[in-house]
């Protein structure tokens, strides 16, 4: 049985005296250069798509974080209104809480505080004793609705523009 060389699958001369050996073929350098060129072209085609995908994921993540921050700020403001509107005037404190909780994403002009009677119809968002006679204020069971609007500006403008308007609303019952 002939022994095989470690470099290739060709028998050695010691095992087959008088036979001619086939030369070992080596990969040509032009083939390697072509392979490198092919890899460079593939990289040039894929890299911009990869960067676009990463940029879109980052922008989506920042936008989602901003939206969730505003949702939580509006919920926090509505909860403050539900627990304090029957005791104090609450429109300005609720707006201040939403603005502070949103980290500056929402301005006071973009926040709406609405109070509604349990039976229907709007009422002033304040305590009864602070109102002129004949006007109703917030009582237990009435609802306080807080709405905030803000515009998310994209970090990298893509196909659908540079700004996305977002709105969040939360309603709580006065306690």
pLDDT of res. 45: 93
Q: Is the dihedral of CA 63, 110, 82, 101 positive or negative?
A: positive
pLDDT of res. 24: 60
Q: pTM value?
A: 0.68
Residues making up the chain, counted from first to last: 175
pLDDT of res. 87: 56
Nearest of 68, 69, 146, 76 to residue 110 by alpha carbon: 146
pLDDT one digit per residue (tens) for the chain, 175 residues: 555 555 555 555 555 566 666 666 665 566 666 667 888 889 999 999 999 899 889 999 999 999 999 999 999 999 988 887 765 677 888 889 999 999 888 888 888 888 777 777 777 676 555 555 555 667 777 888 899 999 998 888 777 778 889 999 999 888 7
């Amino acid at each position: 049985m002939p022994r095989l060389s470690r470099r290739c699958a060709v028998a050695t001369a010691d095992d087959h005296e008088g036979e001619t050996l086939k030369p070992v073929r080596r990969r040509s350098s032009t083939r390697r250069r072509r392979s490198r060129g092919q890899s460079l072209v593939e990289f040039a085609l894929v890299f911009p798509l990869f960067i676009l995908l990463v940029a879109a994921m980052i922008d989506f993540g920042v936008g989602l974080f901003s939206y969730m921050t505003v949702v939580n700020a509006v919920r926090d403001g509505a909860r403050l209104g539900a627990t304090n509107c029957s005791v104090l005037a609450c429109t300005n404190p609720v707006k201040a809480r939403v603005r502070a909780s949103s980290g500056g994403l929402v301005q006071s002009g973009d926040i709406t505080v609405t109070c509604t009677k349990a039976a229907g119809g709007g009422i002033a968002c304040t305590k009864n004793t602070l109102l002129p006679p004949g006007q109703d204020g917030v009582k237990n069971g009435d609802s306080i609705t807080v709405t905030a609007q803000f515009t998310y500006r994209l970090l990298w403008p893509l196909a659908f523009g540079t700004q996305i308007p977002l709105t969040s609303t939360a309603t709580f019952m006065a306690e």
